[in-house]
């Protein structure tokens, strides 16, 4: 039994065991690789707008510190608990190692529904959370970034709060900041662009013309909207999108730039059109060339996996596919090309790494350079994953995770066990 027990942690542990069996990692080495190094729970009291005091629970989990600082997003969501955060931190570790970044994984969050608090309450809660985290984070210890329910503004508040306590501006404490506050060009778009870049690459390898191809996107936040926009710019028809308010469908392709303007102005896709409504339950099983789950975990279970009608499954979200569904996808691998989450959405952390490097050096790059370097890293990791999958006759997910786990294991081995 562990404090992390829960369905999301069980999923991360289950996936790790598959990899550990494949790599024949001795049993006594496994817990050292899997279990998080540090976890902290904080209570964040704030004054509500009505004058009462409310207390929100916040978490941060640092998975391993073997290769450098830890790195990972901060999630504001009512589903957040310490087990979910730990699982997300573990996935970040394999992801950073897969793409070759000098980081361990971390994740954090507050159990709160950001749509149910006012903008002022969001600011004081964000600042209080960062203030509570000061003893545990630092530019060379643990660097935060946005995730579900947080955005550039929240990162700016985090950075400002940390800086006020240090008595100087410390931009390198968080990534995903506004460009005006030390952020990098290309970070806002990075995750979605990376998803679209890899999906496009697979379509080309499958000889599917971009102009005849269709895409379906679940989730229209940072990842989903920029993935949709990039695919739209490349000539694909984005025939359906959904968010927490509902779904829209148009067989000729939705007007994604207009939908993004609407979602920016109104906070969701609700109210964009009265005619294009669609059952959100059916979005994942619509026939399309590229399916991008970009909302949350465990939305593709074995039943959904059986009913998928896409050619490419590009996992924008973290952990959208359950281990049971993976077994189905393995049987269907000739029909469905899986780009697993730890590769598919890694453009976000890759460009966060670039932001951290630029902040440390106070030397800023053009957007073109950021994006070209991002694609170069994604392509390299994609080639390694495909080669490993073919050589070992294993699924893409197993191959990607095996590369990540192996790199962390090698670093731990050469450093030895202290003391």
Binding of ligand NAD by 37 (CB under 6 A): no
Task: Tokens for 145, please give them.
Answer: 């970034």
- ∠169-145-292 over CA atoms, to 5°? 150
* Backbone Cα Rg of the chain: 20
Task: Tokens for 131, please give them.
Answer: 């203030």
Binding of ligand NAD by 222 (CB under 6 A): yes
Binding of ligand NAD by 340 (CB under 6 A): no
Q: Which of 83, 105, 146, 186 binds ligand NAD (CB under 6 A)?
A: 146
Q: Which of 84, 152, 243, 374 binds ligand NAD (CB under 6 A)?
A: 243
Beta pairing, strands 70-77 & 104-111: parallel
Binding of ligand NAD by 171 (CB under 6 A): no
Q: Which of 99, 223, 350, 405 binds ligand NAD (CB under 6 A)?
A: 223
The catalytic position among 71, 95, 107, 200 is: 107
Q: Which of 109, 183, 348, 404 binds ligand NAD (CB under 6 A)?
A: 348
Q: In angstroms, rounded to a whole number, what is the distance separating the alpha carbons of residues 339 and 313? A: 6
User: Hunting for tokens 């003893």 — which residue is that?
Assistant: 135
- The answer to whether 329 touches 321, Cβ cutoff 8 Å, is yes
DSSP state of 220: -
Q: How many Cβ atoms are within 10 Å of 301's Cβ, its own excluded?
A: 14
Q: In angstroms, rounded to a whole number, what is the distance separating the alpha carbons of residues 46 and 69? A: 30
DSSP state of 135: T
> What residues numbered 299-338 form the site for ligand NAD, per CB under 6 A?
316-318
Judged by beta carbon, residue 25 or residue 174, the one nearer ligand NAD is 174
Q: Which of 33, 240, 254, 295 binds ligand NAD (CB under 6 A)?
A: 295
Shortest Å, Cβ 219 to ligand NAD: 3
**Which strands sit side by side in the sheet containing 309-314, from one edge to the other?**
277-278, 246-249, 237-243, 214-218, 287-293, 309-314, 337-339
Shortest Å, Cβ 212 to ligand NAD: 27
Please indicate whether residue 303 is annotated as part of the active site.
Answer: no
Binding of ligand NAD by 93 (CB under 6 A): no
Q: Return all residues near 160 (Cβ < 8 A) that are at least 6 apart.
A: 127, 181
Q: Which of 147, 172, 326, 374 binds ligand NAD (CB under 6 A)?
A: 147
Choose the binding region for ligand NAD from 228-236, 293-301, 353-361, 380-388 (rule: CB under 6 A). Answer: 293-301
Instruction: List residues with catalytic annotation.
Output: 107
Binding site for ligand NAD (CB under 6 A): 146-149, 191, 218-224, 242-244, 280, 294-296, 316-318, 345, 348
């Amino acid at each position: 039994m562990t404090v992390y027990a829960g369905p999301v942690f069980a999923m991360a542990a289950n996936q790790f065991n598959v990899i550990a069996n494949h790599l024949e990692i001795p049993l006594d080495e496994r817990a050292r690789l899997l279990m998080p190094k540090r976890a902290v729970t904080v209570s964040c009291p704030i004054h509500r707008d009505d004058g009462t005091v409310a207390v929100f629970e916040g978490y941060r989990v640092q998975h391993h510190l073997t290769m450098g600082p830890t790195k990972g997003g901060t999630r504001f969501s009512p589903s957040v608990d310490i087990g979910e955060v730990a699982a997300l931190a573990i996935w970040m570790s394999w992801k950073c190692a897969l793409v070759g970044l000098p980081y361990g994984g971390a994740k954090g969050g507050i159990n709160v529904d950001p749509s149910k608090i006012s903008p002022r309450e969001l600011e004081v809660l964000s600042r209080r959370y960062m203030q509570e985290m000061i003893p545990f984070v630092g530019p060379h210890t643990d660097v935060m970034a946005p995730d579900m329910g947080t955005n550039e503004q929240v990162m700016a508040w985090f950075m400002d709060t940390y800086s006020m306590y240090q008595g100087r501006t410390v931009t390198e404490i968080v990534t995903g900041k506004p460009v005006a506050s030390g952020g990098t060009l290309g970070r806002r778009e990075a995750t979605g662009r990376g998803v679209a870049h890899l999906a496009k690459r697979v379509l080309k390898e499958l000889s599917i013309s971009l102009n005849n191809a269709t895409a379906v996107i679940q989730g229209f936040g940072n990842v989903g909207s920029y993935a949709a926009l990039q695919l739209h710019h490349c000539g694909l028809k984005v025939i359906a999108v959904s968010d927490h308010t509902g779904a829209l469908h148009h067989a000729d392709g939705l007007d994604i730039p207009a939908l993004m303007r609407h979602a920016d102005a109104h906070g969701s896709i609700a109210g964009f059109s009265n005619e294009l409504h669609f059952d959100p339950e059916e979005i994942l099983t619509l026939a399309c060339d590229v399916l991008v789950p970009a909302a949350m975990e465990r939305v593709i279970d074995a039943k959904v996996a059986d009913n998928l009608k896409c050619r490419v499954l590009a996992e924008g979200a973290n952990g959208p596919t359950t281990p049971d569904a993976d077994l189905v996808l393995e049987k269907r691998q000739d029909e469905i090309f899986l780009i697993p989450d730890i590769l598919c959405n890694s453009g976000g952390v890759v460009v966060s790494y670039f932001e951290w490097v630029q902040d440390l050096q106070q030397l800023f790059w053009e957007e073109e350079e950021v994006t070209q370097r991002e694609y170069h890293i994604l392509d390299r990791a994609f080639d390694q994953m495909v080669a490993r999958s073919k050589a070992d006759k294993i699924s893409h997910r197993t191959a990607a995770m095996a590369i990540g786990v192996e790199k962390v294991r090698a670093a731990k081995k050469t450093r030895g066990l202290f003391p």
